[in-house]
Amino acid sequence: MFKLNEKIAVVTGSGSGIGKAVALLFAKQGAQVHVIDLNEEACNATVKEIQQTGGKAFAHVCNVAEQQQVKEIFSKIGKVDILVNSAGVSHVGNVENTTETDFDRLYNVNVKGVYNCLQAGVTIMKKNKSGVILNLASIANNIGLADRFAYSMSKGAVYAMTLSVAKDYIHEGIRCNCISPARVHTPFVDDFIKKNYPGKEKEMFEKLSKSQPIGRMAKPEEIASLILFLCSNEAAFITGCDYPIDGGFIKLNN
């Protein structure tokens, strides 16, 4: 079950974190993985790790916010069976202290970047009358999170785009879903804590971990497992859905 043999998968933001975990798992399950990331070193490292275990992978350095770059890379890839939009950035702040620069940065990567990849991916998938798209949304599009104004805006847009693409292309053989993770232990989280709470890293990590009812953060590999299912043939009847993967955060945080 959940094999991706002969599938060509594009995973954005796969130089680290969730995207990397997805790329590694997809390759393990037999897919040819196209690793897209802005960081060339991280991009190449993911590809090398896949190739060292006998998998097939190709590196593409790309800023997903730049439409022409995205179009050129997808054109080069040629065929896309699976697209995972994982590239994203975060920001801490409310509506008052979020600057226009901050807002634009979140919009350009998290919204426009997803739009660029959706447009390029759907155009190719339509030709083959098949394809699967998985977008990374967030619990922030389901509930209010303190000091996450711009981030919540961007992930709400991802959720809405997911529904729109699922509706518009259901008769073209294209499925589109999204998942909504809570906190996931990635290098981003470690860097955020180190930057904002110097000397209190351990204390803050514990606090953030226990904000989820299950008592810990998710592992990137756990998020990747859900993504694998939703992108596999076993999920062929699922489209237009959002799947929380949040350790009980949405329903159990009373």
Domain-located, residue 250:
no
Report, in angstroms and rounded to the nearest whole number, the Rg of the chain calculated over CA atoms: 17
Q: Which of 177, 252, 220 is nearest to 16 (CA)?
A: 220
Contact 83, 77 (CB under 8 A): no
Q: Count the helix, strand and coil residues of the chain and give each as a percent rounded to the nearest 5.
A: 50, 15, 30
Among the listed residues 115, 151, 159, 169, the single catalytic one is 151
Contact 226, 247 (CB under 8 A): no
Tell me, yes or no, whether 192 and 81 share the same domain.
no
Distance between CA atoms of 228 and 222, rounded to whole angstroms? Answer: 10
Distance between CA atoms of 254 and 249, rounded to whole angstroms? Answer: 9
pLDDT at residue 254, as a whole number: 60
Query: For the purposes of burial, counting CB atoms within 10 Å of the CB of 243, is it exposed (0-12), middle (13-18) or buried (19 or more)?
Result: middle
Tell me, yes or no, whether 198 and 176 share the same domain.
no
Tell me, yes or no, whether 168 and 201 share the same domain.
no
Which CA distances in Å does 251 have to 143, 158, 181, 214? 10, 21, 13, 12
Domain-located, residue 103:
yes
Tell me, yes or no, whether 38 and 68 share the same domain.
yes
Here the tokens at position 186 are 């990635």
Amino acid at 218: A
Helix (H) or strand (E) holding 136: strand 131-136
Domain-located, residue 248:
no
Distance between CA atoms of 190 and 192, rounded to whole angstroms? Answer: 5
Tell me, yes or no, whether 122 and 137 share the same domain.
yes
Active-site residue, 159 included? no
Contact 162, 138 (CB under 8 A): no
Tell me, yes or no, whether 27 and 149 share the same domain.
yes
Amino acid at 211: S
Number of domains the chain contains: 2
Domain-located, residue 253:
no
Domain-located, residue 246:
no
Domain range for 203: 185-217
Distance between CA atoms of 14 and 85, rounded to whole angstroms? Answer: 9
* Distance separating the N- and C-terminal Cα atoms of the chain: 37
Phi, psi torsion values for 8, nearest 5 degrees: -105, 115
Tell me, yes or no, whether 190 and 93 share the same domain.
no
Tell me, yes or no, whether 208 and 94 share the same domain.
no
Tell me, yes or no, whether 90 and 145 share the same domain.
yes
Q: Quick: pLDDT tens for 151-193.
A: 999 999 999 999 999 999 999 999 999 999 999 999 888 988 8
Domain-located, residue 108:
yes
Phi, psi torsion values for 145, nearest 5 degrees: -115, 135
Here the tokens at position 219 are 């592992």
Tell me, yes or no, whether 65 and 137 share the same domain.
yes
Show the low-confidence residues of the chain (pLDDT under 70).
254
Tell me, yes or no, whether 31 and 106 share the same domain.
yes
pLDDT at residue 187, as a whole number: 86
Domain-located, residue 58:
yes
Domain CATH for 27: 3.40.50.720
Tell me, yes or no, whether 70 and 96 share the same domain.
yes
